[in-house]
A and B are shown apart, each in its own frame.
Chain A
Amino acid sequence: MDAMRTTYLEEANDLLSNLERALLALETNANDKSYIEEVFRVMHTLKGNSSMFGLPVIAEFVHDLETIYDKIRLGEMQLSKELLDCTFSCLDHLKIIIHDSDLSNPVNKNNHETLIHQITNFINQKGLSTGKQEQANSEHTLKTYHIYFEPHASIFNNGTNPLFLISELAAMGVSKMIPHFKVPEENQEFASESCFTYWDIYLETEKNDKDLMDVFVFVEDSSKIEITELGSLDLVNNKEFDAFINRGIYKHVKTDLEEIKAFAGKLQELSSGKTETAETVKTTELKSVKKEKVEKTISSIRVSSDKLDELMNLVSELVTTQAGLSLFAANNKITELEVITENVEKLSRRLRDIAFGMTLVPINNMFGRFQRMVRDVSGVLGKEIEFLTEGGETELDKTIIETLTDPLMHILRNSLDHGIERAEEREAKGKSRSGKVVLKAFYSGVFVYIQIVDDGKGIDVDAVRSKAISKGIIKSTDFLSEKEIFDLIFYPGFSTAQKVTDVSGRGVGMDVVKRNITDLKGTILVESKIDEGTTLTIKLPLTLSIIDGLLVVIDHVNYIIPLSVITKCYAVNNKDMMGSFNNLLILDEEQVPFIHLRDEFGYSSMPNAQSQMIVVNNGERKVGISVDTIIGEYQAVVKPLGKYYTKQDFVSGASILGDGTIALVLDTNKLIELFIKKIQTEEKSWQLN
């Protein structure tokens, strides 16, 4: 039963994230039928799964949702912003109740009932709209007006009944009347003979505004009457429009006419012929993309990550054994054996490539979540944000993707919160009203780059600098390059100031982001221009489990140094190293501090006369690391050392060589850190003595 439940949850999670993706796509392309189909299909599958696994509560809930989208699919209902919002809340609710299918938590139960109520409302609404829709569609010469009618309180005194006026208006066409009620002020007595009612009227009619004004001819002096033409569209029956004007009704919020006009204009633009062609092009384009996606889902199957890990282990073992075989064949010149060995070598290499490729997953899986977050956050912040993703098909190791989600989420949120300005502010600067945030991923060599580009206000270099000075991170006399100043935002504690937003806002928890990225053996780079925006570039290795390294030997023990940090290798005489003052060597006319690994790791045997000095990058500076001999380049499958060696973090893992022995993979940055720390404590004890 447990295994079944896990399967269900796995599938449900997948389905829900598919649903989220489809809904987000639907929100931006409301006219695209294919997304509606997708939404419907996902809901249908989820319903089926839920009832199959004996979860009637979820099944029924999804069934109701599905009914709505079925109607939309068949054109019996129209998609509205309200409905989408409701669907998103349902989605969030589903994410929770798949773990609580009995609604044992009262909060869930409460939410459940509220949502069901909302859904039923939507389903019932459809009955009203279908009939009129067709009728309205045939009338195109009509115009829609908005009439604001607020009779004077004493209107009843001269014998006028405002309801007669209203019904006169109603007779002129299709209308929607929204009455509002003025609440008498606190110490004012309720006067039964006064009028407290006023109306927002949406009227679709062939008559012109003069005709409409005529209705109010007897009361126009004492009442407030505003007639506005909204457009030639049949707005009254338009579901989207309806939803739009209905928003504030129950909250007694006065509808903003400007907003309604703008919305009506937008609707009109959408349905006008001019944009239609563009729209259809877009639709076909999207369809082709979608088709590809469908094919993909069919051709992929679910494999548990445990099995994959096991496969990876076996494959690397095979590669190791194969290396042993090659060695044996080379030593025992048997022609047949050599042929076989060569074949095995080819096969195992291909097998290895495929096995490692399997643990790579497209970044897209992660992008979906961001889309949702951007939608929600921009709603909360009240900013207009256009969020684009590129290169979602770029593949990365699954463990990297998991670890990457949080830091990226953080960076994005910062971009939205502090980077992008409010619409008015942007307009004043001569930028487009809506801010743009682009999340892109692409390959370059053995690295994957992930960029978050925004066109917001950028980071103020001077502000960051002065803040760093005030926090005592740098001295006012320090001269820092722009890059170094940007790097300050990653300084732990930089973020703890209360008013980070005043500076740049890029500081909140960025030290954690940086640490996460560094843990993934990645780097992060900030570029920013005031008022033009900020670009954060994260550079990551494709996978953590396989690296290009340099195989070296110290006293018969193998070590691997990642090729990515190495700049150059030199042969040096041990004499020079021993005699060097302060562990400094002159290499290529440059002073390079070095670490004598043989000493450092405590090997007591006599070294050869010559050592190899490997110069590696340590941030901005170069540091030499001495080893006995260099064997050559080696593609290493890196395995973790396990829980027992957590304090030896200068070893980032181990790799098994062809002959079955283990080589330790060195993390040179950590090694240098350790060395510096050791020297510092030594210096301290010197001073004490």
Chain B
Amino acid sequence: MATKLIRDEKTEATKSFLSFKLAEEHFAIEVMKIMEILEVPKITKVPHAPDFLKGVVNLRGGVLPVIDARIKFGLQPIEMTVDTCILVLSIGLNDETVTVGAMVDSVSEVFEMEEKYIQPSPSIGSKYRADFIQGMIKEKDQFMMLLDIDKVFTSQDLEAILEPKTENQVA
């Protein structure tokens, strides 16, 4: 009983995060949410799909949709380099768990951090939607945004962000 209590306290206090880069910005995701990291395989594009949906890839016999995280954040599409990789994420979408791949420029490192060091994000004047950001983390003098991936990658939010753009395309 006593040991369990101690362990609980510990896990509550510290969490593991993975940091990655999109363009020149640093972001972090809780490691728990990441199932694996893939090299970019051959992507099959689905016609008439919105830009941020890169296509589908074969993940050991399963079909994994891949999202360009840069487009998702309103940046230029990712240019493929050797560092480009796909984070396989397990996200909650309407009470279901959905697996989705997020293509990022590069992954940096896995680090541990006590939760109390996560700072609230300054929401005014931010160029990213505030509710996507869980908080800010400072690791080795580097500020990075901690993402709330359940919110970022739900399809509804994707549509909400892209709606104006698709309208432009039609016009």
User: A residues near B, CB below 8 A?
Assistant: 313-314, 316-317, 320, 557-558, 600-602, 639-648, 650-651, 653-654, 656, 660-664, 674
Asked whether A644 and B65 contact (CB < 8 A) given A557-B45, A601-B47, the answer is yes
B61 and A645: CB pair below 8 A? no
Q: Are B62 and A639 in contact (CB under 8 A)?
A: yes
Tell whether, in the assembled complex, residue B65 and residue A645 are in contact, meaning their CB atoms are under 8 Å apart.
yes
Q: Does chain A have a CB within 8 A of B6?
A: no
Quick one: closest A residue to B50, CB to CB? A647
Given contacts A645-B46, A648-B49, 5 further A-B contacts (CB under 8 A): A639-B62, A639-B63, A644-B158, A648-B47, A651-B46
Contacts of A664 in B (CB 8 A): 44, 46, 56
Give the contact-size bracket for chain B.
Answer: 20 to 34
List of B residues within 8 angstroms of A642 by Cβ? 56, 63, 65, 98, 100
Contact B44 A662 (CB under 8 A): yes
User: B residues engaging A (CB < 8 A)?
Assistant: 41-42, 44-49, 53, 56-58, 60-63, 65, 67, 93, 96, 98, 100, 155, 158
A674 to B47, CA, bound (A): 12
A316 to B41, CA, bound (A): 19
Contact of A644 among B41, B44, B48, B100 (CB under 8 A): B100
Contact A654 B44 (CB under 8 A): yes
- Closest CB-CB distance, B38 to chain A, in whole Å? 13
User: A654, B63: Cβ atoms under 8 Å?
Assistant: yes
Nearest 6 pairs of A and B residues by beta carbon: A317-B61, A601-B47, A662-B44, A644-B65, A654-B63, A639-B63
Contact of B46 among A313, A316, A641, A660 (CB under 8 A): A641
| Cβ–Cβ contact A662 & B62, under 8 A | no
A314 to B59 CA separation, bound complex (whole angstroms)? 11
A648 touches B48 (CB 8 A): yes
Closest-by-CB residue of A relative to B94 is: A643
B46–A648 touching, CB < 8 Å:
yes
Taking a contact as CB atoms under 8 Å apart, the answer to whether A600 and B65 are in contact is: no
- Taking a contact as CB atoms under 8 Å apart, the answer to whether A314 and B49 are in contact is no
Query: When chains A and B are docked, how far (Å) is the Cα of A320 from the Cα of B100?
Result: 21
Residue of B nearest to A651 (CB): B46
Q: How far is the CA of A320 from the CA of B65 in the complex (A)?
A: 19
- Kindly list chain A residues whose C-beta atoms are within 8 Å of the C-beta of B63: 639-642, 653-654, 656, 662
Chain A residues, Cβ within 8 Å of B53? 644-645
Instruction: Return chain B residues, CB-CB under 8 Å to A663.
Output: 44
Docked pose: A313 CA to B60 CA in angstroms: 9
Considering the chains assembled together, what is the distance between the CA atoms of A316 and B60 in angstroms? 9
Interface centre among B58, B96, B155 (most CB of A within 10 A): B58
Give chain B residues whose Cβ lies under 8 Å from the Cβ of A320: 58, 61
The answer on a CB contact under 8 Å between A317 and B56 is no
Q: Is the CB of A644 within 8 A of B45?
A: no
Find the B residue at minimum CB distance from A678: B48
Chain B, Cβ-Cβ closest to A600: B47
Once A644-B53, A651-B46 are accepted as A-B contacts, the answer to whether A313 and B155 lie under 8 Å apart by CB is: no
CA distance A650 to B48 in the complex (A): 10
25 chain-A/chain-B pairs, Cβ below 8 angstroms: A313-B61, A313-B62, A316-B61, A317-B60, A317-B61, A320-B58, A601-B47, A601-B48, A602-B47, A640-B63, A642-B65, A642-B98, A643-B98, A645-B53, A645-B56, A645-B65, A647-B48, A654-B56, A654-B63, A660-B41, A660-B58, A661-B42, A662-B44, A662-B57, A664-B44
Q: When the two chains form their complex, are residues B65 and A557 in contact, meaning their CB atoms are under 8 A apart?
A: no
User: Looking at A602, A646, A664, which has the most chain B CB atoms within 10 Å of its CB?
Assistant: A664
A600 CA to B48 CA in the complex, in Å? 9
Q: Judging by beta carbons under 8 Å apart, are A656 and B155 in contact?
A: no
Collect the chain B residues with CB atoms within 8 Å of residue A640's CB.
Answer: 63
Residues of A within 8 A of B48 (CB): 601, 647-648, 650, 674
Measured CB to CB, the closest approach of chain B to A646, in angstroms, equals 7
Given contacts A654-B56, A662-B56, contact A314 B46 (CB under 8 A): no
**Which residues from chain A contact B65 at a C-beta distance below 8 Å?**
641-642, 644-645
What residues of chain B lie closer than 8 Å to A641, measured between beta carbons? Answer: 46, 56, 63, 65
**From B60, B61, B155, residue with most partner A Cβ within 10 Å:** B61
Tell me how far the C-beta of A346 lies from the nearest C-beta in chain B, rounded to whole angstroms.
20
Q: Which residues of A contact B41 (CB under 8 A)?
A: 660
Give the distance in Å from the alpha carbon of A644 to the alpha carbon of B153 in the complex: 10
* A674 to B44 Cα, complex, angstroms: 21
Q: Which residues of A contact B45 (CB under 8 A)?
A: 557
Point out the residues of chain B lying under 8 angstroms from A651, CB to CB. Answer: 46-47
Cα separation A662 to B55 with both chains bound (whole Å): 10
Chain A residue, CB-CB nearest to B66: A644
Q: How far is the CA of A327 from the CA of B63 in the complex (A)?
A: 22
Q: Name the residue on B nearest A645 (C-beta).
A: B46
Contacts of A601 in B (CB 8 A): 47-48
Contacts of A656 in B (CB 8 A): 58, 61, 63
* CB of B63 to closest CB in A, whole Å: 5
Across-interface contacts of A316 in B (CB, < 8 A): 61
B residues in contact with A645, CB < 8 Å: 46, 49, 53, 56, 65
Q: Nearest CB to that of A318 among chain B residues? A: B61
Closest-CB distance, A553 to chain B (whole angstroms)? 12
* Contact A643–B46 (Cβ < 8 Å): no
